């Protein structure tokens, strides 16, 4: 979390429609221009994460190569681009970060998150999918530094810096325990 200086209200000072400085924050997510009446809302961005297991049941974690939280554990994934479905983004992100294709994906859960980049807070809704792949990834690329294969019982969710990844991983691990024969 941050001290509040990364809140959008501290960055957005001019109306994007008319350029007026009379662009007033009505709440943490709503702005209204006193000059032209333009009403603007900050809404949640969408991100996706992939949960991939190998034939021995290990789960693929990644180590981030870039800030925020470079060097920390994460799950493969990223932001959904405008005009892209969550499933399309999932396939693109896995291809970019792991150099593999997804055969199928099953929705698991969603969780809210705050992603601070360039000291600007973006609120996200992160969607987790369990992914089936034909090829087990062996190399990292894009913004992934390292691939880390871990047995479910060895995952310490407190090592994930993002609250949504902790929550989604915990949800998935509970689901795995329920599905055991």
Q: What pTM, to 2 d.p., does this model score?
A: 0.89
Tokens linked to 63? 């180590």
Distance (Å, whole) CA 151 – CA 60: 9
Q: How large is the C-alpha radius of gyration of the chain?
A: 19
pLDDT at 150: 97
Contact 94, 102 (CB under 8 A): yes
DSSP annotation of 72 = S
pLDDT at 5: 82
DSSP annotation of 159 = G
Sheet holding 30-33, edge to edge: 23-25, 30-33, 39-41
For 72-114, write each residue's pLDDT tens digit. Answer: 999 999 999 999 999 999 999 999 999 999 999 999 999 999 9
For 31-48, write each residue's pLDDT tens digit. Answer: 999 999 999 999 999 999
- The residue written with tokens 């055969």 in the block is 103
């Amino acid at each position: 979390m941050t001290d509040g200086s990364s809140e959008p209200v501290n960055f957005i000072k001019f109306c994007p429609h008319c350029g007026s400085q009379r662009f007033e924050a009505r709440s943490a997510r709503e702005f209204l221009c006193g000059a032209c009446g333009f009403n603007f809302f900050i809404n949640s961005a969408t991100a996706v994460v992939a949960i991939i297991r190998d034939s021995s049941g290990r789960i693929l974690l990644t180590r981030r190569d870039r800030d925020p939280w470079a060097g920390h554990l994460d799950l493969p994934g990223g932001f959904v681009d405008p005009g892209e479905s969550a499933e399309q983004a999932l396939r693109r992100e896995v291809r970019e970060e792991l150099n593999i294709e997804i055969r199928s994906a099953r929705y698991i859960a969603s969780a809210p998150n705050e992603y601070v980049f360039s000291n600007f807070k973006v609120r996200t809704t992160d969607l987790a999918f369990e992914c089936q792949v034909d090829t087990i990834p062996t190399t990292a690329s894009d913004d992934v530094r390292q691939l880390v294969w871990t047995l479910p019982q060895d995952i310490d969710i407190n090592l994930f810096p993002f609250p949504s990844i902790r929550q989604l991983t915990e949800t998935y691990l509970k689901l795995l325990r329920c599905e055991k024969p």
